[in-house]
A and B are shown apart, each in its own frame.
Chain A
């Protein structure tokens, strides 16, 4: 056994703390992971959806709807990196808008699309570099820096395109967002996303760079002392995020077949929602790429199913928002209960009743006050 030699070298005490082999997980413990929870939710989603409507398990429908979430997914991949390091990028959707608008302007000036698109990708990368510079070099909090660029990039999109629109892209370009792999029903954008997701996942979980991301998220100061190139790593991930936002912009423009400066507005929050729902800790330090991808599938399923039942987009967001809060609420509730739970004193019971009454009154008013107005319509 190797263990004995380790024991003699470092003394008996350390062996108790650090065993030479990885701790063996019980069969059950392997299933107590967030990813499996997501898989279970996805299965439930599929079952419910296929019961509710016969149009769900339809290859055409599934193919078309899966393409709707790929721009979100493309931006989510680097967002996972960024959130794992304890940062955030609020500017992704604005960057997407800026790049798509830039490409549209060039296209309207009769620049060849295969020159315009790479230039737009370069612009997005520069935008990401600006974020990285502000966060890593100027040492602004990421929330503040990217809030600023959030407004700035979207502003540039409006300045570039104004009240114009880019349209009439050549079919070779719209293939990026509308085309399917030859002979199959798999949209090209899904193929692109899957390839990139595998690459991002491997980088995150199988490379030193990936380990750096977790390390920075856990303790940035310790990383600096340990010689991790923190500044460079941050610059790189924000720059990648810029590039991926631009790529998502191309895909979205290709899917719509047109571009307006408000393209993709508000998507940043969906991107963050997907990452966090996938089990990436918003405070940094933990998260997995499979989890994030599963969360994206779950969001897609929920939205698709509700869409088939003619539930408006905005009402669907209630479900997504609740899912986001519950995913963290349930985890912390489980921790509270396993730590002994809250002891029900008289005060907490009274407070609980008060809050229940308040919320009940709110919902009573909610339904009571709308009835006469809606009845009169």
Chain B
């Protein structure tokens, strides 16, 4: 599935280990699920599973975009602030025009997010500013714009129409909309990364930008594109965030960027680009969501939540790193 798979390696250790990287997360998830369900009987119920999915839907959408960015050896630190800004602008717009159709709201959010992404992309490709610096800067700028825009006021739940609140939580198909949207996004990104030429180019640019350039891939365009896609995902996430939490505050999604990066990295996406899959990122997001959920159910003090999350990220990246080194040692001659 990953681009670094040599075609001859089907039967050797390298291939097995490459497969194992996702299997490793699955095993981890299963162990966690078993341990937690021994302590809390309501962990392995359909209702709880639904709750977990509900909690990680927005994370999944943005983590998938973050995965695409990281695949090109970039990073987008501005996603949290971007979500905050889009959520605020959308909430204000709806408050002023309560009868606006939901489709327009979603499209508006995605368009606003896209503009933020275009700005990031231009600074990075045209301005030749390293992604981490560019998005560190826009992270402050977008968060500042939330305050500039709202003048510090927030939109409480009663000021938003019910139809908008149901956008995320409504269940016309039996499952909350937000989960369906996340699944659709996942399928689209999976198809895009694996079966389209541009998607493959993203892997190529991340694996070896010079070689990609020589093979005729317009690396600048690909890099620009992933930031715009990230912006669109941020826009969608912003609308869903305002709808799910029925409000918009100035600190919406503060620190969220690090969660999306953590989900990608735990899911086996390499920070140095070119390596990572959609199922991996999904499992990473699922694992983070399960930990948050488990901490609550097992009645550990919620103060342990972040420490557990941090420890888990460390364990995941260290084990992943050891596996990678093992792979390099056993590389077929």
Contacts and interface: CB of A to CB of B under 8 A. Distances in A.
B144 A158 contact: no
Contact of A159 (B96, B143, B149, B303): B303
A373 B96 contact: yes
Interface residues of B, number: 62
A140 B89 CA distance: 39
Contact of B308 (A138, A155, A322): A155
B76 to A, nearest CB: 13
Contact of A152 (B75, B92, B147, B310): B310
A322 B127 CA distance: 13
Contacts of B306: 151-152, 154-155, 158
Interface residues of A, number: 62
Contacts of B272: 141
A314 B122 CA distance: 24
Interface in B4-62: none
B133 A282 contact: yes
B143 A317 contact: yes
A147 B115 contact: no
B132 A282 contact: yes
Given A314-B146, A332-B127, A151 B321 contact: no
A9 interface: no
Interface stretch (B167-175, B237-245, B258-266): B258-266
A369 B94 CA distance: 9
B92 A141 contact: no
Nearest to A320: B140
Interface in B120-179: 122-123, 127-130, 132-134, 136-141, 143-153
A370 B258 contact: no
A328 B131 CA distance: 11
A141 B133 CA distance: 17
B258 A150 contact: yes
A139 B321 contact: yes
A155 B123 contact: no
A195 to B, nearest CB: 29
A144 B147 CA distance: 30
Interface stretch (A67-75, A213-221, A223-231, A359-367): A359-367
Nearest to A261: B303
A325 interface: yes
A269, A312, A369, A374 interface centre (most CB from chain B within 10 Å):
A369
B250 A314 contact: yes
A156 interface: yes
B140 A159 contact: no
A377 to B, nearest CB: 6
A328 B130 contact: yes
A171 interface: no
A269 B139 contact: yes
A134 interface: yes
A56 B261 CA distance: 41
A355 B139 CA distance: 20
A325 B271 contact: no
A198 interface: no
Nearest to A141: B271
B309 interface: yes
Given A144-B317, A145-B317, A359-B119, A152 B129 contact: no
A332 B307 contact: no
A153 interface: yes
24 contacts: A138-B318, A147-B261, A147-B265, A150-B258, A151-B313, A155-B303, A155-B306, A155-B307, A155-B309, A156-B307, A273-B140, A282-B132, A283-B130, A316-B144, A317-B140, A318-B140, A320-B140, A321-B141, A324-B137, A325-B133, A358-B115, A370-B149, A373-B153, A374-B153
Interface of B: 75, 77, 89, 92-93, 95-96, 112, 115, 118-119, 122-123, 127-130, 132-134, 136-141, 143-153, 250, 255, 258, 261-262, 265, 271-272, 301, 303-311, 313-314, 317-318, 321-322, 325
